[in-house]
A and B are shown apart, each in its own frame.
Chain A
């Protein structure tokens, strides 16, 4: 199963952290720091896998991918396949990209709850439930629509680009 999903920027600031088994806030921070210290010491053009047993305990693998200013990190156990998880990150990013059109770090920060929604559609209770980005998009859009309907408040432009352009 998947143990944790993290998104952090190249300065080590956490942008998203989701642990599928409960950990205290301090422990989470410790792990995030641990992961970042390993990530930032990795050279370019090396594998996307890291032996994470020293950080997460026995039977844990870590796959990360570096996009622009962000690291996407998945931690999981031996019931998953490393290459497949790499593609899962790909799916996740593809979905984000569809959602925000040219996704950037700011989108992820400012649409915190939406990112969680997307992730929840993909990974449920530590198991991968959906791997097609268009399916995920459909579900997320449906939620958005319903929420909008149930919440007839005046809307401020949400996307970061909209906000920046003001």
Chain B
């Protein structure tokens, strides 16, 4: 088969590929490719290259570009090829342009016309290839050029074309929803297409549409459910089966859609229960695709309004996933568990050992997924273990992206659930130490704020304890050789603010440490600035307390260095320090009050303290202030600016004549004179000259003019404008608060503060809880406390609490029974009376039924319905066609297997039996699990509480 058809390659190309394949180094490969590019450049521009040759050159170009070299010189030739009449050449051209060009490329304009023509072609293959190009190359501006044809193609007789037209329309919707908003109803219409493939394709855009706006599609719930039912009942043609599953990809898409539609909607969800339950029962959990559908069912169940029976099936499926030997299934199981615990948190307990196994798995992907799960189930009882684990993992990895993520998660959890101040500070220290340069600076600000504000409402002793423990730990950490800048900033700030507050450390000790920091990190200006300010604070507090200040010699030398620093910021801080030290105690206390970092600074927005000065000036004959809105000259200025901006932004041709330069000058003078002439002396002759320049080089000079003008105005505005004054401290305070809320995404909104307090209150009862509990016990133990947490943090719904009762005792039994015979299920769930595999009834036309069901929008009267069914009377024939098509979709498995000699596939494809065997022979090393169990028991999972038989299966 490979030798058939027109996929022509020359010897030259083969040699090229071969020599690249044999290249021993990247440099050698580059050399070969570059010489190839030279050849192609020469050949491709030769005048009468035969098409066949040309086609090959283009393919070679594509190949060269895939290897990462620039092939832009040939783009135009690829574009030319799309104009060709021969299908082969045209296809190659299109293939090349879709790979080469993006939708905003200059050459696109040369293709749009061809695409338009090809969309009208009689040959459906030409239409298909043009549609392919449409998807990739049409941008927002060119959508209208092809849109009418795409809409026409939605009714094309060939289903392949209809499918692709839908996708093209969907692509337009993605690119610019407004341009096709009037055509969205077409997707609904195509849902009733005769061809199941087209219907399946329609689900993609519908999924997106429903994601964006659930409520307008609630009417389709019934239709989707009935489609899903028919698919699950094998009423589609055999050709749609994949590995004995009826159209699994369609099922998955439908389940995803139902999950969206049923979310938080009891009524809609109730329609889905039966069909989802059916699928749970019918799914073949021995094949990969069957598990994919099962997983999707779990997602659906956890998203729609909870139903106890379905939740039970979902829990069963999850436990099967987790017990599987396949890492893929474990991964899916962990993911599914994370979804389901939102509804029924207690389900995690039955799987504690499996989860711990996954956490210790060498597979990084699985590990990360498990951390994600742990993150979701963190509560105040297990936060220590989880965060410790996370930090350990964070330290062990190199991937900065993930490190950042896990660090921010640690911070978030620590802020939310910290059991004690000390633990909190220690945790933050660890995070900063190992990922300090990666975490958001806001986290650092947050930490400072937290230390400053404290947690308790009126509990001052706790606050000061927190601070002194922070100071102590920071002084200790400063011994480390290298610390991240952000962390040092926090340390400096805290030492400055609270270093001497509890009297444990002397000022000279703290200042000595601060000087060390400033010296050790002498190339980090920010840290140095923080250090100087901290020094200033320490000295100020000393002076205010009436003690003698005597600066350490190293501090003196440091100051001398900073006073001459190139950084103006450092210089200023150093001078300020000098000035503060020279003041008397009273003045210092009002400048630098002790422990006042979180007190609001009152800002007098009206600047009333200047009243006397203004009065004086007015008496001396100064002009009174005129608000911006009342100034006449100001109006002119703003007009002018607009004009200038306009000029600068529109680079296109201007058709109206330029204004006379004279006018410009006139208009510009008044504002300048009004806004204190002596501030900005404007030499008048400059203006005419400039405007003349404008005529010669319009865009550049007008830009320059506008910036010049703007600069001057900025100065003016800062002096007199109304909005320039911000109460800086208070806003910064409130924004930092907001960021806390931003980070604590679990509950969002501004309750973060109050909630942390809550946890800190509850901490007192938990405080005694042994810190070194064994992992499992501490992760999952203490379900009684869960209730408390769930009241504040997690969603707790009635049915779930009901589930606790019915589920807990049963689950262990189920687990046990499952081990012996994996097929056996609780009888109320699995209805074995009914044969799972129904033979298809070819005479029945599922889509005829669909027609009737799927007309909810136009359901005006039954007559309409009737006519619509009548319109598709030919559908039976089509269905007949389908049944005739050979259903040999997957018989070559063994061939592939032998051909590729690959082991993992065995599990996936042919291994129905092996999987089952593997499943039943789970718990491979009984001894291990016994040991683990013993440990768990010993460490205090109190089996007396809920489910005493939890580990029965493991004990055998």
Residues of chain A whose beta carbon lies under 8 Å from any beta carbon of chain B: 1, 13-14, 16-18, 20, 22, 25-26, 28-29, 43, 45-51, 53-54, 65-68, 79, 81-84, 86-87, 90-91, 93-94, 97-104, 107, 109-114, 116-117, 120, 124-135, 139, 141-148, 150-151, 153, 155-163
Q: Is the CB of A28 within 8 A of B363?
A: no
Could you say which of B2, B256, B890 contacts A162, with CB atoms under 8 Å apart? B2
> Given A20-B136, A93-B900, A109-B17, list of 11 further CB < 8 A pairs?
A22-B103, A25-B68, A49-B365, A66-B902, A93-B896, A124-B131, A127-B170, A143-B87, A146-B123, A153-B52, A157-B3
Give, as a whole number of angstroms, the nearest-CB distance from A86 to chain B: 6
Residue of A nearest to B255 (CB): A81
Binds A, one of B159-167, B471-479, B498-506, B664-672: B159-167
A143 to B124, CA, bound (A): 10
Q: How far is the CB of A72 from chain B (nearest CB, A)?
A: 11
CB distance from A100 to the nearest CB of B (A): 4
**A125 interface neighbour in B167, B252, B296, B400, Cβ under 8 Å:** B167
Closest Cβ neighbor of A161 among chain B residues: B2
Name the residue on A nearest B11 (C-beta). Answer: A156
Verify A67–B5 contact, CB threshold 8 A: no
Contact A147 B87 (CB under 8 A): yes
The 8 Å CB contact of B908, one of A82, A86, A114, A116, is A86
When the two chains form the complex, which single residue of B9, B62, B207 contacts A158, counting CB atoms closer than 8 Å?
B9
Q: Let me know if B289 is at the binding interface, CB within 8 A.
A: yes
Contact call B2/A148, Cβ cutoff below 8 A:
no
Chain B residues 294 to 336 lying within 8 A of chain A, measured CB to CB, are 295-296, 326-328, 330-332
Q: In the bound complex, do residue B292 and residue A84 qualify as a contact, i.e. CB atoms below 8 Å apart?
A: yes
B893 sits at the interface (CB 8 A): yes
Q: Chain B: which residue is nearest A134 at the CB level? A: B889
In this assembly, does B605 line the interface, its C-beta being within 8 Å of a C-beta of chain A? no
The complex places the Cα of A29 from the Cα of B69 at a distance, in Å, of: 9
Interface residues on B, range: 35 or more
A142 and B252 CA atoms in complex are apart in Å by 30
Known: A113-B59, A131-B249, A143-B125. A49 touches B331 (CB 8 A): yes
If the complex has contacts A25-B65, A46-B365, are A151 and B896 also in contact, measured as CB distance less than 8 A? no
Q: Contact mask B882-909 → A, CB, 8 Å, 1/0?
A: 0000101110110110111110110011
> Contact string, B178-216, partner A, CB cutoff 8 A, digits 1/0?
000000000000000000010001001001100000000
Q: Which of B91-99, B375-383, B682-690, B756-764 contacts A (4 or more CB under 8 A)?
A: B91-99
Residue of A nearest to B1 (CB): A99
| Contact between chains at A156 and B9 (CB < 8 Å) | yes
Cα separation A29 to B399 with both chains bound (whole Å) = 19
Cα distance, A81 to B1, chains bound together (Å)? 32
**B4 contacts A144, CB within 8 Å?**
yes
Check B103 against A130 for contact (C-beta < 8 Å). Answer: no
Inter-chain contact B401/A43, CB cutoff 8 Å: no
- In the assembly, what is the distance between CA of A150 and CA of B92, in Å? 13
Given contacts A47-B330, A47-B366, contact A114 B901 (CB under 8 A): no
Q: Which residue of B lies closest to A130 (CB)?
A: B197
| CB-based contact A134/B167 at 8 Å | no
Q: Report the Cα distance A147→B87, complex, angstroms.
A: 6
5 A–B pairs (Cβ distance < 8 Å), ordered by A: A50-B365, A53-B405, A83-B295, A130-B163, A158-B5
Within 8 A of A (CB), among B218-264: 239-240, 242-243, 248-249, 252, 256
Give the distance in Å from the alpha carbon of A38 to the alpha carbon of B59 in the complex: 29
Tell me if B67 counts as interface (CB < 8 A to partner A).
yes
A139 to B197, CA, bound (A): 14
Contact: B288 with A83, CB < 8 Å? yes
Contact B292 A83 (CB under 8 A): yes
- Which residues of the other chain, B, contact A91 by a CB distance below 8 angstroms? 242
Q: Which residues of A contact B6 (CB under 8 A)?
A: 144, 147-148, 150-151, 155
Given contacts A146-B125, A147-B91, A156-B10, contact A98 B249 (CB under 8 A): no
- CB pair B197–A83 under 8 Å, yes or no, is no
Contact B66 A14 (CB under 8 A): yes
Query: A134-B239, A139-B160 are known contacts. Are A109 and B892 too (CB-CB below 8 A)?
Result: no
Q: Provide the B590-604 mask, 1 if CB < 8 A to any CB of A, else 0.
A: 000000000000000
- Kindly list chain A residues whose C-beta atoms are within 8 Å of the C-beta of B14: 110, 163
Question: Is A134 within 8 A of B401, CB to CB?
Answer: no
Measured CB to CB, the nearest residue on chain A to B101 is: A22
B residues within 8 A CB of A110?
9, 13-14, 17
Interface residue from A29, A125, A143 paired with B168 (Cβ < 8 Å): A125
CB of B135 within 8 A of CB of A124, answer: yes
In the complex, per-residue mask of B340-371: 1 if CB is within 8 Å of any chain A CB, else 0: 00000000000000000000001111101100
